[in-house]
Amino acid sequence: MSENKIGREIPDYIENIGELKPYESPFAYQPTTRKFGRKISKTVPGQSKLLNSIEEAIIRTGLKDGMTISFHHHFRTGDYVVNMVMDAIAKLGIKNLTVAASSLNDVHAPLIGHIKNGVVTKIETSGLRGPLAYEVSKGLLDTPVIIRSHGGRARAIESGELKIDVAFLGVSCTDIYGNANGYNGKSICGSLGYAKMDAQYADQVVLITDTLVDYPNVPASILQSDVDYIVKVDAIGNPEGISSGAIRLTKNPRELLIAKYAAKVIEASGYLKPGFSMQCGSGGASLAVIRYIKEKMIEDNIKASFFLGGITGSSVELLNEGLTKKLLDVQDFDLIAAKSIGENPNHFEIDASYYANPHNKGCAANLLDVVILSALEVDTDFNVNVMT
Amino acid sequence: MSENKIGREIPDYIENIGELKPYESPFAYQPTTRKFGRKISKTVPGQSKLLNSIEEAIIRTGLKDGMTISFHHHFRTGDYVVNMVMDAIAKLGIKNLTVAASSLNDVHAPLIGHIKNGVVTKIETSGLRGPLAYEVSKGLLDTPVIIRSHGGRARAIESGELKIDVAFLGVSCTDIYGNANGYNGKSICGSLGYAKMDAQYADQVVLITDTLVDYPNVPASILQSDVDYIVKVDAIGNPEGISSGAIRLTKNPRELLIAKYAAKVIEASGYLKPGFSMQCGSGGASLAVIRYIKEKMIEDNIKASFFLGGITGSSVELLNEGLTKKLLDVQDFDLIAAKSIGENPNHFEIDASYYANPHNKGCAANLLDVVILSALEVDTDFNVNVMT
- A184 contacts A213 by C-beta, under 8 angstroms: yes
For residue B246, pLDDT over 50 is answered with no
Chain A residues within 8 A of B363 when measuring between CB atoms = 224-225
For residue B297, pLDDT over 80 is answered with yes
Q: Closest by alpha carbon to B374, among B264, B250, B276, B221?
A: B250
Question: Do B110 and B83 fall within a single domain?
Answer: yes
Query: Searching chain A, which residue's CA lies closest to the CA of residue B229?
Result: A361
d(CA B78, CA B73): 9
| DSSP one-letter string for B257-272 | HHHHHHHHHHHHHT--
Chain B residues within 8 A of A362 when measuring between CB atoms = 43, 47, 49, 177-178, 224-225, 227
Question: Do A263 and A359 fall within a single domain?
Answer: yes
For B327, residues 6+ apart whose C-beta sits below 8 A from its C-beta are B306, B307, B308, B311, B315, B316, B319, B340, B341, B346, B347, B348
Amino acid identity of A129?
A: R
Give residue-wise pLDDT tens across range B312-361: 988 999 999 999 999 999 999 999 999 999 999 999 999 999 999 999 99
Chain A residues within 8 A of B214 when measuring between CB atoms = 275, 305, 325
Chain A residues within 8 A of B178 when measuring between CB atoms = 361-362
Query: Searching chain A, which residue's CA lies closest to the CA of residue B45?
Result: A366
Q: With residue A280 as reference, give the H or E element that holds it.
A: strand A277-280
Q: Report CA Rg, chain A.
A: 21
Q: With residue B308 as reference, give the H or E element that holds it.
A: strand B304-311
Chain A residues within 8 A of B361 when measuring between CB atoms = 41-43, 178, 205, 224-228
Task: Inform me whether the C-beta atom of residue A143 falls under 8 Å from chain B C-beta atoms.
Answer: no
Beta-carbon separation of B219 and A41 below 8 A: no
The domain of B374 spans 253-385
Residue B382 pLDDT: 87
Q: With residue A181 as reference, give the H or E element that holds it.
A: strand A180-181
Question: Do A328 and A223 fall within a single domain?
Answer: no
Query: Judged by CB atoms within 8 Å, which residues 169-188 of A form the interface with B?
Result: 177-178
For A214, residues 6+ apart whose C-beta sits below 8 A from its C-beta are A175, B275, B305, B325
Beta-carbon separation of B40 and A363 below 8 A: no
d(CA A96, CA A83): 17
Phi and psi at residue A38, in whole multiples of 5°? -75, 165
**CB-count burial class (<10 Å; 0-12, 13-18, 19+) for A1:** exposed
Beta-carbon separation of B42 and A361 below 8 A: yes
Query: Judged by CB atoms within 8 Å, which residues 225-254 of A form the interface with B?
Result: 225-228
Query: Searching chain A, which residue's CA lies closest to the CA of residue B32?
Result: A40
Question: Do B347 and B281 fall within a single domain?
Answer: yes
Is B84 part of any domain?
yes
Chain B residues within 8 A of A359 when measuring between CB atoms = 40-42
Q: Closest by alpha carbon to A42, among B83, B335, B133, B361?
A: B361
Domain total of chain B: 2
d(CA B82, CA B88): 10
Q: Closest by alpha carbon to B169, among B132, B131, B199, B135?
A: B199
- B153 contacts B102 by C-beta, under 8 angstroms: yes
d(CA A172, CA A195): 12
d(CA A23, CA A2): 10
- A300 contacts A271 by C-beta, under 8 angstroms: no
Is B108 part of any domain?
yes
Pick out chain A residues at pLDDT < 70. 243-249
Beta-carbon separation of B328 and A362 below 8 A: no
Q: A308-328: b or e for each residue (b if 16 or more CB lie within 10 Å)?
A: bbbbbbbbbbbbeeebbbbbb
Nearest to B359 among A40, A350, A364 (CB): A40
Give residue-wise pLDDT tens across range A255-291: 899 999 999 999 999 999 999 999 987 777 887 899 8
Is A6 part of any domain?
no
Beta-carbon separation of A364 and B219 below 8 A: no
Q: How confident is the model at residue B249 (pLDDT cuts 50, 70, 90)?
A: low
Beta bridge partners of A327: A307, A347
Is B7 part of any domain?
no
Coil, helix or strand for A168?
A: strand
Chain B residues within 8 A of A226 when measuring between CB atoms = 360-361
> How many C-beta atoms lie closer than 10 Å to residue A29's C-beta?
14
d(CA A264, CA B275): 58
Give residue-wise pLDDT tens across range B180-202: 999 999 999 999 999 999 999 99
d(CA B257, CA A336): 54
Task: Inform me whether the C-beta atom of residue A261 falls under 8 Å from chain B C-beta atoms.
Answer: no
Q: Which of B157, B204, B218, B370 to mutate to test the interface with A (most CBs of A within 10 A)?
A: B218
Task: Inform me whether the C-beta atom of residue A364 falls under 8 Å from chain B C-beta atoms.
Answer: yes
> Alpha carbon A24 to chain centroid distance?
25
Residue A246 pLDDT: 46
Query: Searching chain B, which residue's CA lies closest to the CA of residue A154?
Result: B225
Chain B residues within 8 A of A38 when measuring between CB atoms = 34-35
Task: Check the CA dihedral A357-A362-A364-A365 and report its sign.
Answer: positive
Chain A residues within 8 A of B304 when measuring between CB atoms = none
Question: Do A297 and A228 fall within a single domain?
Answer: no
Residue A321 pLDDT: 97
CA atoms within 13 A on the CB side of A21: 8
- B88 contacts B58 by C-beta, under 8 angstroms: yes
Q: B1-10: b or e for each residue (b if 16 or more CB lie within 10 Å)?
A: eeeeeeeeee
d(CA B256, CA B283): 11
∠ CA B277-B282-B286, rounded to 5°: 65
Distance from CA of B222 to the nearest CA of A (A): 12
Distance from CA of B303 to the nearest CA of A (A): 13
Nearest to B359 among A33, A37, A42 (CB): A42
Last residue within a domain, chosen from B238, B262, B289: B238
Question: Do A147 and A187 fall within a single domain?
Answer: yes
Task: Inform me whether the C-beta atom of residue A39 falls under 8 Å from chain B C-beta atoms.
Answer: yes
Is A245 part of any domain?
no
Coil, helix or strand for B229?
A: strand
* High-pLDDT (> 70) share of chain B, %: 98
d(CA A106, CA A100): 16
Dihedral of CA atoms B289, B295, B301, B305 in degrees, nearest 10, equals 20
Question: Do A284 and A145 fall within a single domain?
Answer: no
CATH number at residue A306: 3.40.1080.10
Task: Inform me whether the C-beta atom of residue A28 falls under 8 Å from chain B C-beta atoms.
Answer: no
d(CA A360, CA B226): 7
Tell me the whole-structure pTM to 2 decimals.
0.96
Is A247 part of any domain?
no
- A354 contacts B223 by C-beta, under 8 angstroms: yes
Question: Do A184 and A40 fall within a single domain?
Answer: yes
Query: Searching chain A, which residue's CA lies closest to the CA of residue B324?
Result: A216
Amino acid identity of B48?
A: S
Task: Inform me whether the C-beta atom of residue B344 falls under 8 Å from chain A C-beta atoms.
Answer: no
Nearest to A225 among B44, B159, B361 (CB): B361
Task: Check the CA dihedral B150-B156-B159-B160 and report its sign.
Answer: negative
Is A274 part of any domain?
yes
Task: Inform me whether the C-beta atom of residue A347 falls under 8 Å from chain B C-beta atoms.
Answer: no
> Alpha carbon B4 to chain centroid distance?
27
Distance from CA of B275 to the nearest CA of A (A): 9
Distance from CA of B171 to the nearest CA of A (A): 18
Q: Report CA Rg, chain B.
A: 21
End-to-end CA gap in chain A: 23
Q: Closest by alpha carbon to B284, among B248, B314, B338?
A: B248
For B340, residues 6+ apart whose C-beta sits below 8 A from its C-beta are B190, B311, B316, B319, B320, B327, B347
> How many C-beta atoms lie closer than 10 Å to residue A110's C-beta?
15
For helices B54-61 and B81-91, angle between their N-to-C axes, nearest 10 degrees = 60
Q: With residue B370 as reference, give the H or E element that holds it.
A: strand B370-372
Last residue within a domain, chosen from A238, A265, A298: A238
Query: Searching chain B, which residue's CA lies closest to the CA of residue A353?
Result: B225
- B348 contacts B326 by C-beta, under 8 angstroms: yes
Residue A25 pLDDT: 87
d(CA B58, CA B258): 47
Last residue within a domain, chosen from A179, A207, A238: A238
User: What is the DSSP-derived secondary structure letter of residue A334?
Assistant: S
Nearest to A216 among B27, B38, B305 (CB): B305
Task: Inform me whether the C-beta atom of residue A294 falls under 8 Å from chain B C-beta atoms.
Answer: no
- A326 contacts A319 by C-beta, under 8 angstroms: yes
Beta-carbon separation of B362 and A224 below 8 A: yes
Query: Searching chain A, which residue's CA lies closest to the CA of residue B177?
Result: A362
Distance from CA of B205 to the nearest CA of A (A): 9
Question: Do A185 and A108 fall within a single domain?
Answer: yes
Q: How confident is the model at residue B286 (pLDDT cuts 50, 70, 90)?
A: confident
Q: What is the average pLDDT score of chain B?
A: 94
Is A266 part of any domain?
yes
d(CA B21, CA A187): 48
Task: Inform me whether the C-beta atom of residue A191 falls under 8 Å from chain B C-beta atoms.
Answer: no
Question: Do A233 and A268 fall within a single domain?
Answer: no
- B324 contacts B293 by C-beta, under 8 angstroms: no
Question: Do B276 and B381 fall within a single domain?
Answer: yes
d(CA B75, CA A100): 43
Nearest to A35 among B38, B360, B366 (CB): B38
| DSSP one-letter string for A87-109 | HHHHHTT--SEEEEES-B-GGGT
Question: Do B285 and B157 fall within a single domain?
Answer: no
Chain B residues within 8 A of A225 when measuring between CB atoms = 353-354, 357, 360-363
Q: Which of A181, A306, A361 to mutate to test the interface with B (most CBs of B within 10 A)?
A: A361
Instruction: Walk across the sheet containing B277-280 and list its strands.
Output: B347-349, B324-332, B304-311, B277-280, B370-372
